[in-house]
Amino acid sequence: MKFYKSTTLTFKNAHVLGGYTVAGPKENAGKYHGKFDLALQNDMFGQKTFERAERKMFEHAMDGALAKCNLGHDELDLICGGDLLNQIISTSFSAKKYHCGFLGLYNACATFVESLIVGASMLNNGLNNVLCVAGSHFSTAERQYRYPLELGVLRSPVTQWTATGVGATVLASQVHKPVPKVVSATIGRVLDYGILDLNNMGAAMAPSACDTLLQHFSNTNTNPTHYDAIYTGDLGKLGKDILLDLLLQDGFDASKVLHDCGASLFFEEQQTYQGASGAACTALVFNCHLLHKLAVGKYKRILLAGTGALMSPTSSFQGDSIPAITHVVEVQA
Alpha-carbon gap, residue 175 to 169, rounded angstroms: 14
Residue number with CB closer to a copy of itself (7 or 174): 7
Q: Three-state SS for 209? A: helix
Query: Is residue 247 a contact partner of residue 275, using CB atoms and an 8 Å limit?
Result: no
CB-CB contact of 144 with 121 (8 Å) = no
Burial of 54 (C-beta count, 10 Å sphere; 0-12/13-18/19+): buried
- Please state the closest distance from residue 241 (CB atom) to a copy of itself, in A: 25
**Which stretches of the chain bind a copy of itself, using CB under 8 A?**
4-7, 9-10, 48-49, 51-52, 74, 77-78, 82, 85-89, 92-93, 95-96, 98-108, 114, 117-118, 121-122, 124-127, 144, 186-192, 310-315, 318, 320, 323, 325
Could you give the CA distance from residue 221 to residue 311 in angstroms, rounded to a whole number? Answer: 33
Q: Residue 173 CB, nearest distance to a copy of itself (Å)?
A: 12
Q: Which is nearer to a copy of itself, 109 or 244 (CB)?
A: 109
Task: Compute the least distance from the CB of residue 297 to a copy of itself, in Å.
Answer: 29
User: Residue 278 CB, nearest distance to a copy of itself (Å)?
Assistant: 14
Q: Is 158 helix (H, G, I), strand (E, B) or coil?
A: coil
> What are the C-alpha distances in Å from 242 to residues 127, 233, 330?
40, 14, 22
Q: How far is the CB of 289 from a copy of itself (least distance, A)?
A: 26
**Number of Cβ within a 10 Å radius of residue 218:** 16
Measured from the CB atom, the residue of 110 and 294 that comes closer to a copy of itself is 110
Compute, in degrees rounded to 10, the torsion defined by CA atoms 192, 198, 202, 207: -10
**Residue whose CB is less far from a copy of itself, 96 or 292:** 96
Helix (H) or strand (E) run with residue 142 in it: helix 138-145
Shortest distance in whole angstroms from residue 162 CB to a copy of itself:
14
Cβ-proximal residues to 168 (8 Å cutoff; 6+ apart), any chain: 19, 20, 21, 58, 61, 62, 64, 65, 81, 131, 132, 133, 283, 287
Least separation in angstroms between residue 30's CB and a copy of itself is 27
Q: Compare residues 117 and 235 and give the one whose CB is closer to a copy of itself.
A: 117
Strands 181-186, 8-10: pairing kind: antiparallel
Residue with smaller CB distance to a copy of itself, 228 or 320: 320
Amino acid present at 99: H
CA distance 4 to 152: 43
Shortest Å, Cβ 212 to a copy of itself: 9
Can you name the residues that pair with 79 across neighbouring β-strands?
A: 102, 131
Beta carbon of residue 31, minimum distance to a copy of itself (angstroms, whole number): 29
Exposure string of 176-193, with b = 16+ CB inside 10 Å and e = fewer, is eeebbbbbbbbbbbebbe
Q: Which is nearer to a copy of itself, 131 or 294 (CB)?
A: 131
If the CB atoms of residues 186 and 272 are measured against a copy of itself, the closer one turns out to be 186
Q: CB-wise, 140 or 272, nearer to a copy of itself?
A: 140
